Amino acid sequence: MNKVKAAVFASGTGSNFDAIIGRSNLACEIVVLICDKPGAPVIEKAISSGIQTLVLNPKAFVSKQEYETKILHFLRKMDVEWIFLAGYMRLIGPTLLAAYEDRIINTHPSLLPAFPGKDAISQAIQAGVKVTGVTIHFVDEGMDTGPIIAQRALEVLEDDTEATLKVRIQDVEHELYPEVINRLVRG
């Protein structure tokens, strides 16, 4: 039986992309990587895994709408039903939100609504919190504001730096995100 098709949107390293495509019993097929940063390491990861890539520079478009319309045509052509954001450093606009209502998911390295936006891990260290974690949520027009699907907490250790905490947070993400994807896709 053919699996439901999905896209990952990423801008950077791609460790979550790797965790998703590497999950042995993933309930969907990742058919394309959408990347907004030409040269980002995640692109190589997709290519070496035989996954199609669409790399676009948003600055080359006159508007966000035009940029997202280009992506939307591509996703439709590939029968993509779900979008998973994995370190995609850009807000999703009305064009994609309308086309994929309740079908766009994100992972964020904090217990939302605490520490939204960039640098969530360093924000947590700065704030001196003893517990932080990972949130998987539906995407809306805001910055990390959509309905929460799952969260996992972890302790911030006395001697944690941003780097050491990031390693543990990402270990949790790499397990939790594919798990949640499977639950959602299987309904």
**Positions marked catalytic:** 108
107 binds ligand GRF per the rule CB under 6 A: yes
Q: Kindly state whether residue 95 participates in binding ligand GRF, applying the rule CB under 6 A.
A: no
Applying CB under 6 A, does 122 fall inside the site for ligand GRF?
A: no
Residue type present at position 13 = T
Residue 68 has φ and ψ, to the nearest 5°, of -70, -30
3-class SS letters over 35-93:
ECCCCCHHHHHHHHCCCEEEECCHHHCCCHHHHHHHHHHHHHHCCEEEEEECCCCCCCC
Rule CB under 6 A: is residue 108 a binding residue for ligand GRF?
yes
In the β-sheet with 52-55, what is the strand arrangement from edge to edge?
Answer: 52-55, 28-35, 4-10, 80-85, 104-108, 131-138, 148-155
Q: Which residue is nearest to ligand GRF (CB)?
A: 87
Minimum CB–partner distance for residue 87 and ligand GRF (Å): 3
The site map against ligand GRF for 54-93 (x = CB under 6 A) is --------------------------------xx------
Whether 16 has a binding-site annotation, put simply, is: yes
Contact, 21 vs 51, CB < 8 A?
yes
Taking each helix axis from N to C end, the angle separating 41-48 and 15-22, rounded to the nearest 10 degrees, works out to: 20
Mask for 2-41, x = binds ligand GRF (CB under 6 A): --------x-xxxxxx------------------------
Give the containing element (helix H, strand E) for 184: helix 162-186
Binding segment for ligand GRF (CB under 6 A), chosen from 27-35, 65-73, 104-112, 156-164, is 104-112
Q: Compare residues 16 and 123 and give the one whose CB is closer to ligand GRF.
A: 16
Q: In the complex, which residues of this chain contact ligand GRF (CB under 6 A)?
A: 10, 12-17, 86-87, 107-109, 170, 173
